[in-house]
Structure 1
Amino acid sequence: MKPTLLHGDCLKVLPSLEAESQDLVVTSPPYNLGIAYRSFDDTAKREDFLDWCRQWAAELKRVLHPQGSFFLNVGAAPSNPLFPHQVLLALTEELFVLQNTFHWIKSITVQTRSGESISAGHFKPINSKRYVNDCHEYVFHLTKNGNVPLDRRGAGVPYQDKSNISRWGHTGGQDLRCRGNAWFIPYETIQSRDKERPHPATFPVALVEQCIRIHGQGEDTRLLDPFLGIGTSAVAAHRMNLNAFTGIELDEHYLAVARERLETLI
């Protein structure tokens, strides 16, 4: 795969892409929560920000194949919990249909059958008397018609109770079931954020890979990320051996980091 990495404002670059030329969009736009990006003001008035979201979403709808999927990762600040839902409402008023809602779990504690508590993952601790630590973000699965087939087992997990394999006819004898809409995908442990993750808001490569798997087109997938950042989705496309990838990034420094990350893989 030879990725296409484009520098510029996605509102100006997206119109240059051919209509219905992309099978899959996986992206995470700025959250308008005051995050310190290098080349983007993340402090717009809420309605101005939502209007901006409608503009780039309209272009994504134009370039997306009729049976394509748009996975939108959106998080929130504890003091602004309605933000992801406001973005979702703006994009589903006239543009897209919400087909699935996934919960990206960054950190979790579970109790085993033996009563042992196990904690896994990473989260940013919050020092507050009002709010608890925020350990998840949303991944909204948007489509043009709400009727796009998915490869549910493509991102599946083995049955814990193996007797279910033969008990339920829909298994087809396979030890693999739908994972559901809760995705535990922790960040990889790093030694230096400045060197290994020099961007204030990234998602793990594995999150993009999960979206590619469940969309179900394999290597034939044409993947687009209009907010490329440091190239996480491009790395996922390379790992999954996709035939085509297009990324758009406003900031020259982030784009340079993305190119460097890919060069180390090729």
Structure 2
Amino acid sequence: MKATKGFFSALGVTDDDSVLQSLVSQTGIPVERLRYYNSTNTAPSGHDLDRICIVANLSPAELFLHMGILDERVLYALRLHAEKVFQIICEDLGDPWPVEGLPKLVFSTDLGRLYQGDCLQLMPHMESDSIDVIFAQPPADLEKLFPDLADSERQANYVMWCETWLQECIRLLKPGGSLFLANEPGLNVLVARYLNHRLVLRHWIAIETERGAAQSGHLQSSHHAVLYYCKGDRPRTFHPERLPREMCPMCKKERYGVSSRGESRRRRKGDIPVIRLSDLWIDITPPTDARQKKAIIGKAPSLKLLDRILELSTDEGDTVFDPFSGTGTSLIVAEVKKRRWVGIVLEAVNEVKERFGNMTMEAALIESFRTERQLLLNWFTLASIADRRR
């Protein structure tokens, strides 16, 4: 099943210069703007919408239906006639992304299993309500994913593909289980509507990253988005960390603290100078060690990010699933923290095996995150006790 843009098809035109010039002359809308509406699937508005509807003899609601743009008013009308609508469309609701074959088990430990293949080959064979936490960072290069499609069709097909494997992820999650979806902010927005009707959004977590190349007419991108959802009204496991707070550069004192009741506030005498974990993570720094650099090829998650996510959302013995295991970072962290795990990769099997072969170094690096944090918290607690005695 392939998703296509509906703007030009609704108007009965093609992306041909001679055909579009006729539409331009009838509507007075520049050809560049018409192509923009089609390529981005953006709803026209104002005078443009009025002119297009007159020329095409369509109502705005019918035009938007052709484009797949559904507001709450249209959705309400569809719900009123759900039985009739289903009878009309049921034959077109086949498997949107059929994948044949079975994945191959290529590596295992006492805690986990690694498969090679497509995640859509594996997930239908996994038991429902069996996973505590899913971490997914799908590929974001739409041109590589859909090389045979036009630019105008790639985004719609990407969303359809994401909805296919996300449907399986939701089925696999236990009640109270958590889903962490890491992606570019613009791509996460596209799938959020699908997830919002099936899971409960807990947080949009912003991960500060190295600033990307500045694009003309855009703000400079400097964060990665992680959507944190849970299955049900609250997560079964939730252990937010307390983090050391930054020092004031002028007075060399801590700016913020936590009261005896756990409230974050500007520091007062006797407070512990730490702060509860927020949804802005600025301490997940890019790696400097050569091995770490190799371990996060492209935009793969860092060990520290996965360490925090699993500390937040799992207990020892819980099961973690990563449908896009990449170089195995999530699997390494799960193994070190004694969580059961299931992963699947397309190509990087040898690299994952090599990392498991160097588990001592990986474990030491992960443990250093905990040790560094605990030393700071111990020091801050002692300093707070000393304050109370003054």
Bin for the TM-score computed over the shorter chain: 0.7 to 0.9
Aligned letter for 1:134? S
Q: Which residue of 2 aligns with 1:109?
A: none
Q: Which residue of 1 aligns with 2:343?
A: 247
Per the TM alignment, residue 32 of structure 1 is displaced from its structure 2 partner at its CA by: 4.1
Larger Rg: 2
Aligned letter for 2:311? R
Aligned letter for 1:7? Q
Per the TM alignment, residue 161 of structure 1 is displaced from its structure 2 partner at its CA by: 5.8
Q: Which residue of 2 aligns with 1:229?
A: 326
The two structures have a TM-score, normalised by structure 2, of 0.53
1:207 matched to 2:339? The reply is no
Alignment of 1:64-143 (within 5 A): 64-76=173-185, 82-93=186-197, 95-106=198-209, 122-124=210-212, 126-143=213-230
Alpha-carbon distance in structure 1 between the residues aligned to 2:306 and 2:113: 17
Contact 1:99 1:146 in 2 (8 A): no
The 3 A distance-change label for structure 1 pair 144 and 218 is: closer
Contact 2:111 2:338 in 1 (8 A): no
Q: 1:188 aligns with which of 265, 284, 287?
A: 287
Contact 1:10 1:56 in 2 (8 A): yes
Structure 1 unaligned segments of length 5 or more: list them.
77-81, 107-121
Contact 2:237 2:315 in 1 (8 A): no
Alpha-carbon distance in structure 1 between the residues aligned to 2:243 and 2:285: 17
Structure 2 unaligned segments of length 5 or more: list them.
1-109, 246-253, 265-269, 361-390
The two structures have a TM-score, normalised by structure 1, of 0.76
Contact 1:67 1:148 in 2 (8 A): yes
Per the TM alignment, residue 146 of structure 1 is displaced from its structure 2 partner at its CA by: 3.4
Which has the larger share of strand? 1
The 3 A distance-change label for structure 1 pair 220 and 127 is: same
Q: Which residue of 1 aligns with 2:250?
A: none
The 3 A distance-change label for structure 1 pair 18 and 200 is: same
Per the TM alignment, residue 246 of structure 1 is displaced from its structure 2 partner at its CA by: 0.7
CA RMSD of aligned residues (A): 2.8
Q: Which residue of 2 aligns with 1:117?
A: none
Alpha-carbon distance in structure 2 between the residues aligned to 1:220 and 1:192: 28
Q: Which residue of 1 aligns with 2:138?
A: 29
Q: Which residue of 2 aligns with 1:257?
A: 351
Higher relative contact order (CA 8 A, sep 6+): 1
**Farther-moved stretch of structure 1 (82-91 vs 59-68):** 82-91
CA displacement 1:161-200 (0-9 Å, x = unmatched): 687433x4669x994542111112112114489x824733
